[in-house]
Amino acid sequence: MDLFKAVSARYSYRGAFKPRRIPRRDLVRIVKAGLAAPSGCNAQTTTFVIVDKPALADKVRKLHEMKAVQDAPAFIAACVHKNPPPAYGKTSFEVEDCSAAVENILLAISALGYGSVWIDGHLREGGRAEKLNRLLGVPADRTVRILLPVGLPVSRGPRRKKMPFGRRAGLNRHP
Between the CA of residue 155 and those of 17, 115, 116, what are the distances in Å?
Answer: 8, 10, 13
Question: Looking at the 3D structure of the chain, how many domains does it have?
Answer: 1
| pLDDT digit string, tens, across residues 59-73 | 999 998 888 789 899
Residue 175 lies in a domain: no
pTM of the model: 0.92
DSSP assignment string, 51-103: E--HHHHHHHHHT---HHHHT-SEEEEEEEESSPPPSBTTB--HHHHHHHHHH
Q: Which CATH number fits the domain that encloses residue 143?
A: 3.40.109.10
Residue 173 lies in a domain: no
pLDDT at 76 over 90: yes
| pLDDT digit string, tens, across residues 92-145 | 999 999 999 999 999 999 999 999 999 998 888 888 999 999 999 999 999 999
